[in-house]
Amino acid sequence: MKNKIKNELFVEDYDEKFLYKDLKNKINISFNRIAFIFFVFVVLGIIFSIKASYFGFKKENIKKTYVPSKDYRSSILDRNGNIIAKTVNTINVGINPKLVIDKKKLLLNLKLIFPNKNFNKKIYKEKFFYVEKQINQEKLEKIMLIGDKSIITEEKISRIYPHGELYSHILGQIDDNNNGISGIEKYFDYELRSSKNPLELSIDTDLQYLIRNELINAQEIFKNIGSAAILMNVNSGEVLSMVSLPDFDLNERKEIKDLNYINRATKGVYELGSVFKTFTFAAGLKEEVIEPGTEFKNLEKSIRCGKNTIKEYDDKIPSDLTAEQILIRSGNIGSVRIGQKIGIEKLKYFLDQIGVLNKINFDIEEVGTPLQLKWGKCKLATASYGHGITTTPLQLAKGYSIISNGGFEINPTLIKINLNNDVKKKRILKQELSKKVNIALRKIVSSEEGTAGQANVSGYEVGGKTGTAQKSFEGAYSKEKINTFVAIFPISKPKFVLVALLDEPKISKDYVYKYRNKKGSYKGTPFNTAGWTTVEIAGKIIEKIGPILATKY
C-alpha cells in the first residue's frame, strides 16, 4: 500500500516536472519568436531610416543643383526689377484640314472669332496650320465651343515680352525652339537656360519709353528714315537706355531682313562729322601742343589736300581763333591745324586709347566694326574734323565718357553693376584735361557762338557737341546726312552722356522752335544740320528724363 502510494506520488511529482519543462520550452520558443520579430522590426527601422536620410540628402542636393527643362529660359529684368522677358505656359491652336467636317461652316465661325485673319487658302490645303499662337482664354473658349474635331490645341512653353517693341534691339529674338538668335537672348543664351535666377539689365524702362517716344516724334517732324539714342552713366559705363528706330514687336517673332531695322546704336558704322573735333581738341591738350587759349591766326577759308578741297562750313567763322573757340564754333580749318600739330601717330593712338577706332566688346553680338583707315597727311587732315573716319554711336558715347569723366577708362555694359563691388578705376587721361574739355563743351551749348543752343535745358547744365556729316554710298558722298549730337550733363560733375542720331532727316517748314538759349521762337528749319535737328530732339529728351535722373540717379 505504501509502495502504491509512493508510486502514485512519484508519478504525480514526475508529471509536475514534465509540465514545467514543457511550459518552459513553450516560453522559450515564444520568447525566441518575439525576439526574432523584434529584430526584424529593428532592421527594417534602420533600413527605412537610412533610406529617409538618403532621400533627404538627395532632395537637399536637388535644391542646390537647378536642372531646368530644355525649353525654359530665365526672366530678364530691367534695373528696377520690372520683367521685360518671361517664360510662360501658353496654348497654341491649329487646324488639321484633313479632319474638317464642314469647311464653309468652320470658316464662318473662325471669321467671327478672328475678323482680321483669313484662313480661306490654308483650310483647303492638307497641311496643318496654326490659327493663333499664345491664344488668350476668351478666344480659346470660343474656338473650342465650335466643336470641330479638326481643331487641335497644344500646350507650349513660350517667351513673352510685355513691352513689345520697346526692347527689341536690346533683347533680340529667339527661334521656335527657344534658342536665342540675337541680342541679349543670344549673347546670354547659356546663362538664361542654365540658371533659375533672372538676368538684371542696366536699362531703366521709364527712361527707355520716354526716349523712344521723343525719337518717334522726331520722325514725324524731320521725316528721317531711322534714329538712335544712347543714355549712359559716364562713370560706370551702365547703359540706362538704348533705342534704335525702326524697331519691331518681339512677340511676333518675324524674320527681319530689311537692313533699315539694324541696331543703329551699336551696329551702325557712320562718319559722324564734327563730334570728332572734340577728340582732336582733347588729343591736342594731352600731347601739350595746345592749350584752350592757344591762338591760331590767319586761318584760311579753304585749303587743298591732294585733289580735294577742305572748306569752312560757315564763311562767318573768324580767321583768328583760339583752340577753344575753334571747337565752340566747330571750325574745320582750325581743327585741321590742331590735328597737324598732333601728328598721325599720336592722334591715331589717342583715338584708339578712348575706344573709337576698333570693334568694341559689348553684351550683344550686333556690333559694327569701324572702317580701317589708310593714314596719311590728307587722312590726318580730314579725320581731325570728323570726315572720312567712322565709328558707332556706342563707341562715340564711350569716347566722350572718358574725356569728360576725369579720364577714367570705362566699358559700356547692358548688365546692371553691383555697386557694392569695389571696382578700381584706371585713369588713362589727366583730370585737368577733362576740366578743360568740359568747359568748352558747356560753351558750345550756352554761348551765342556755340552750335547747340537748343540743348541748353534750364537746370541741367548741359554741355555737348554737334556733328553733321554726308552719308557715303560705295565710296561716293550723297546729299543725305547723318546728324548727331553728344550731350554731357551736368557738365561741372558729369554723370550722363546722351548720344542722339537722326538718319537722313529733312527740314521742316512748319515746325516751331522755342528757343532755350534766348527769348522768342522760330518757324521752319533753316538748315538741315545737327544744331537744328538732333540738338532740338536731344533737348526735348533731356527735359523729359531730367526729373527722373535727378531723383533716381
Those residues whose C-beta lies under 8 Å from the C-beta of residue 176, and which sit 6 or more positions away, are 253
Domains 76-112+132-200 and 208-552 share a fold: no
Q: In 3D, which of 345, 346, 328 has the Cα closest to residue 284?
A: 346
What the block records as the C-alpha cell of 252 is 511676333
Strand 199-200 vs strand 76-77: parallel, antiparallel, or unpaired? Answer: parallel
Question: Which one, of 402, 394, 397, 411, lies nearest residue 269 by Cα?
Answer: 394
Q: Contact at 8 Å (CB) between 241 and 204?
A: yes
Task: Give the three-class secondary structure for 109.
Answer: helix
Strand partners, 271: 390
Distance, in Å, from the CA atom of 99 to the CA atom of 123, rounded to the nearest integer, reads 10
Q: Which helix (H) or strand (E) holds 439?
A: helix 431-446
Cell of 175: 527661334
CATH node for 208-552: 3.40.710.10
Give the three cell numbers for residue 138: 476668351
Closest residue by Cα to residue 224 from 426, 407, 522, 484: 484
Q: Respond yes or no on whether the N-terminal peptide bond of residue 97 is cis (omega within 30° of 0).
A: no
Question: CA separation (Å) from 96 to 92, 131, 137, 156, 317?
Answer: 13, 10, 21, 18, 74
Cβ burial, residue 62 (10 Å; 0-12/13-18/19+): exposed
- CATH fold for the domain made of 76-112+132-200: Penicillin-binding protein 2a (Domain 2) (3.90.1310)
DSSP 321: E
Q: Which helix (H) or strand (E) holds 108?
A: helix 103-113
Three-state helix/strand/coil letters over 385-419: CCCCCEECHHHHHHHHHHHHCCCECCCCECECCCC
Query: Position of cell 532740338?
Result: 536
- Residue showing cell 580701317: 372
Cα 116 from chain centre = 33
Residue pair 165/249 in contact (Cβ under 8 Å)? The answer is yes
Name, in order, each residue with C-beta under 8 angstroms of 547's C-beta and a sequence gap of 6 or more: none
Bridging pattern class, strands 151-160 and 83-95: antiparallel
Task: Give CA separation, 26 vs 15, 19, 525, in Å.
Answer: 16, 10, 118
Please state the length of the chain: 553
What pLDDT does 32 receive? 59
Decide: 471 and 481 in contact? Cβ < 8 Å. yes
Query: In degrees rounded to 5, what are phi and psi of residue 153?
Result: -115, 145
Q: Specify the pLDDT at position 41.
A: 58
Which phi and psi angles does 506 have, rounded to 5°?
Answer: -120, 155
Q: What is the DSSP letter of 251?
A: G
CA distance 379 to 303: 14
Residue 282 burial (CB < 10 Å; 0-12/13-18/19+)?
Answer: buried
Q: What is the pLDDT along the chain (553 residues), one digit of tens a residue?
A: 434 433 443 333 434 444 444 544 544 555 555 555 655 555 556 555 554 554 444 333 333 333 455 678 999 999 999 999 999 988 999 999 999 989 999 999 999 999 999 999 999 988 999 999 889 999 999 999 999 999 999 988 889 999 999 999 999 999 988 899 999 999 999 999 999 899 999 999 999 999 999 999 999 999 999 999 999 999 999 999 999 999 999 998 788 889 999 999 999 999 999 999 999 999 999 999 999 999 999 999 999 998 889 999 888 899 999 999 999 999 999 999 999 999 999 999 999 999 999 999 999 999 999 999 999 999 999 999 999 999 999 999 999 999 999 999 999 999 999 866 666 889 999 999 999 999 999 999 999 999 999 999 999 999 999 999 999 887 789 999 999 999 999 999 999 999 999 999 999 999 999 999 888 999 999 999 999 999 999 999 999 999 999 999 9
| Residue 444 · residue 464 · CB < 8 Å | yes
- The DSSP-derived string for 135-185 is --HHHHHHHHTT--TTEEEEEEEEEE-TTTTTTHHHH--B-TTS-B-SHHH
pLDDT of residue 319: 95
Q: Kindly list the domain boundaries of the chain, sorted by start residue.
A: 76-112+132-200, 208-552
- List Cβ neighbours of 488 (8 Å cut-off, separation of 6 or more): 234, 400, 404, 438, 441, 462, 463, 464, 494, 496, 497
Residue matched to cell numbers 540717379: 553
What are the two backbone dihedrals, phi and then psi, of residue 97, each rounded to the nearest 5 degrees? -55, -25
* CA–CA distances in Å: residue 220 to residues 109, 223, 400, 544: 40, 6, 29, 18
- The answer to whether 92 and 133 are in contact (CB under 8 A) is yes
The side-by-side arrangement of strands in the sheet containing 496-503 is 239-245, 226-233, 496-503, 476-489, 463-473
Q: Is the separation of the CB atoms in 264 and 282 below 8 Å?
A: no
Other Cβ atoms closer than 10 A to 138: 9
